[in-house]
Amino acid sequence: MNDELKSFIFRELVHLPDATLFSDDDDLLEAGLDSMGIMRLVLFIEEKFGVTLPDEEIEPDNIQTLNRISSWIERHR
């Protein structure tokens, strides 16, 4: 799951010179994931993984790293 998330995020939302150096625990918000990107990410997740992520749970604790996003998705599967 993390590989699919990482691929989408760094292809569509955050542009880094070398995304392969970005670990699953690195901070996506510091890397440049903004509010518009977060909304696009949530839509991608809901479509790709067949889950509904509650709007009230869109907060840094759930989206700050790839591992946190994966945990958030798993809680709603």
* Per-residue model confidence (pLDDT) at position 47: 97
**Alpha-carbon span 18 to 26, nearest angstrom:** 13
Residue 16 falls within a domain, yes or no?
A: no
* Per-residue model confidence (pLDDT) at position 20: 87
Q: Which domain holds residue 53?
A: 2-11+25-75
Residue 19 falls within a domain, yes or no?
A: no
pTM over 0.85: yes
Domain of 31, CATH number, reads 1.10.1200.10
Residue 54 falls within a domain, yes or no?
A: yes
**Alpha-carbon span 62 to 70, nearest angstrom:** 9
Residue 20 falls within a domain, yes or no?
A: no
pLDDT, tens digit (0-9, with 9 covering 90-100), for 32-77: 999 999 999 999 999 999 999 999 999 999 999 999 999 999 999 9
Number of domains in the chain: 1
**Alpha-carbon span 2 to 51, nearest angstrom:** 16
